Amino acid sequence: MNRYFKGVFGPLLIAEIGGNHEGDFAYAKKLCDLAIASNTDCIKFQVYTGDGLVSPVESPDRNKHFKKFEFSKDQHIELAKKVHQAGKKYTASVWEENALEWIDPYIDFYKIGSGDLTAYALLEAIAKKKKPIILSTGLSSEIEVMETVAFLQMQNDIYKSEDNLALLQCTSMYPINYGDANLDVMKKYKEETGLTVGYSDHTIDLKALQYAAAMGAEILEFHFTDNKEGKTFRDHKVSLTKEEVENLTDELEIIRTLKGNDEKRPLSIEIENGHVDSFRRAVYLNKDVAAGYIIKKEDLVLLRPNHGIDAREYKNVIGKKLSKPLKAFEKIDIENLQDNISN
């Protein structure tokens, strides 16, 4: 189990405020405070400028959109400090290289959004910071994901460790149907890389997050808002509120309890209630026999409870001589047999 990507309730819970502030810094601070007050482990923002992200020539409308959502360096740092002062982790998708120097001191780990999985120059710059990286994999084929993993690991061997690199299954649409979540991809990632795996959600309720946790997600990322009603910006629809985060963590506690641990052993409740003996079978004779009788296969039956000689010793009883008479279905002790039988 990885040591770094771990949350209070099991999976590391990342509240993605992202663009839900819609460029209103006071609102961003309000959302940040709400996320801090919820049961999240980490608060996430996005660091960018419109011109550093989108071509004003090729996509002028998108360029204007992101310009409206920009925050200054000082505003981003204020949000990061707010998160850390509350004892939570802070992360951001840093979407332009020149922001790395001033935001890096506040970053606990870097989050790479799905759209930047192939932005190798940016990934190289982030990898030079030698901090853990979480990589969302929406829009991507398995080959592309593995190529990016290999690229990051070429930059530094620390990204060969599950403590420093995580892969999130993600579908980059807002919102998505359950059939587009493809949670089984997490299993494939774990088998092929051994890295930390998780799920970045774009559904409209808690089910995908809950089932992802039950399926082994070690990180759960979700958008966060204060209220979905009356909002036109798309991300609010796929976001969780403080109350929903608390409902999620209640479910995570149940999931964690049900999953238990991977050590298979008889539990105390089974032992203390005598079920190891009462549910298992032993070797019994199916008829009355006299002392000196040589036991045949057809004389034996396996019955509960497991008193006397364990059912696994069935063949070792055949051909043995009884030292005293026994009634049908009476317990057979090892001492009744001419030769000792090991349990």
Domain end (from 227, 259, 291): 259
Residues in the chain: 343
- Does 182 score more than 90 pLDDT? yes
Please list, residue by residue across 139-158, b when 16 or more beta carbons sit within 10 angstroms of its beta carbon and e when fewer do. ebeeeebeebbebbbebeeb
Digit-coded pLDDT (tens) for 49-68: 999 999 999 999 999 999 99
Nearest to 189 by CA among 180, 179, 199: 199
Rounded distance between C-alpha atoms, residue 327 and residue 199, angstroms: 63
Is residue 159 within 8 Å of residue 153, measured between CB atoms? Answer: yes
Q: Tell me how far CA of residue 26 lies from CA of 86, 186, 343, in angstroms.
A: 18, 37, 73
- Does 124 score more than 80 pLDDT? yes
Number of independent structural domains in the chain? 2
The confidence score (pLDDT) of residue 341 equals: 47
Q: What is the mean pLDDT of residues 325-334?
A: 96
Same domain, 246 and 272: no
The confidence score (pLDDT) of residue 342 equals: 47
Instruction: CATH number of the domain at 116, please.
Output: 3.20.20.70
86 confidence band (pLDDT: 50, 70, 90)? very high
Digit-coded pLDDT (tens) for 191-227: 999 999 999 999 999 999 999 999 999 999 999 999 9
1 is a domain residue: no
Q: What mean pLDDT is reported for the chain?
A: 95
Domain end (from 208, 228, 259): 259
232 confidence band (pLDDT: 50, 70, 90)? confident
- Does 2 score more than 60 pLDDT? no
Return the C-alpha torsion angle 188, 193, 194, 200, nearest 10: -60
Q: What is the mean pLDDT of residues 106-131?
A: 98
309 is a domain residue: yes
Rg of the chain (C-alpha set): 30
Same domain, 255 and 282: no
Q: What is the mean pLDDT of residues 230-253?
A: 92
Range of the domain at 36: 12-259
The confidence score (pLDDT) of residue 234 equals: 82
The confidence score (pLDDT) of residue 230 equals: 79
